[in-house]
Amino acid sequence: MTKPRILVVDDEPAIVDVLVYNLLKENFDVTTASDGREAVQKCQTAIPDLVILDLMLPGLDGLQVCRRLRSDPRTKEVRVMMLTAKGDETDEIVGFNMGADDYVAKPFRVKPLIERVKALLRRKGSDEPAEVLVVDNVEIDKTNHVVRISGNELMLTPTEFRLLWTLARQPGRTFNRNELLDCCRGEDANSMERTIDVHIRALRKKLEGQADLIETVRGIGYRCKPTRA
């Protein structure tokens, strides 16, 4: 069985050493990069399954790297876990808007981070049957992993796509945050419920005029707007 390939991108050698040591223990194939340009080059040369990406990098920063990966057809499906010393929720929203799938603030605990890596990788390579959903003017094409509004394609992260797909499959059904975490990451007890709130805000922003498609159910979670008879 092929080992999952992980690229660790950070300019702090101590952090790189800790991550590489622990990822190798979990039987991952690990490579490293110390700046943004090197990271993009390595992703294009040998496409990884997941990138652990520091936000503050010399040259290209983490957001620029993430944007480049998402705009390249070869790397747009690569999972991205962003690391940062910042803890502001605004930074998380910006990171998710650029295409990050997860966000971990430094300093971090190694074991929970490794579990989040595993959870992100569990969602790769789904062999579920191909389907297309249409809700109002929003077309969700699971076959090609594409969302369009009135024919215009949206740039969603893999996590945002799975959230929208999950909600749109059962309009009117309320999903609590734990259910949405499970559908996006697998069984990851270390993920925080508010991570879903950040993803939902980013998704609504990208949906623009169709943002009301996703309704908040106070005290519980979210649902896709019920269909009208």
pLDDT tens digit string along 22-35?
A: 999 999 999 999 99
Range of the domain at 198: 132-224
Find the mean pLDDT for residues 108-115. Answer: 88
Domain contains 44: yes
Q: Does the pLDDT value for residue 118 go beyond 60?
A: yes
- Domain limit, last residue, from 75, 91, 122: 122
Q: Are residues 92 and 190 in the same domain?
A: no
Q: Are residues 27 and 108 in the same domain?
A: yes
Confidence tier at 115 by pLDDT (50, 70, 90)? confident
Q: Are residues 115 and 30 in the same domain?
A: yes
Q: Are residues 136 and 118 in the same domain?
A: no
The pTM of this model reads: 0.59
Domain contains 127: no
Q: Are residues 139 and 83 in the same domain?
A: no
**68, 40 in Cβ contact below 8 A?**
yes
Tell the burial category of 18 from Cβ atoms under 10 Å away from its Cβ (0-12, 13-18, 19+): middle
Q: Are residues 108 and 213 in the same domain?
A: no
Q: Are residues 117 and 38 in the same domain?
A: yes
Instruction: Please name which of 138, 121, 118, 113 lies closest in space to residue 203, comparing C-alpha atoms.
Output: 138
Q: What is the pLDDT of residues 5-56, one digit of tens each?
A: 999 999 999 999 999 999 999 999 999 999 999 999 999 999 999 999 998 8
Q: Is the Cα dihedral 116, 118, 122, 123 positive or negative?
A: positive
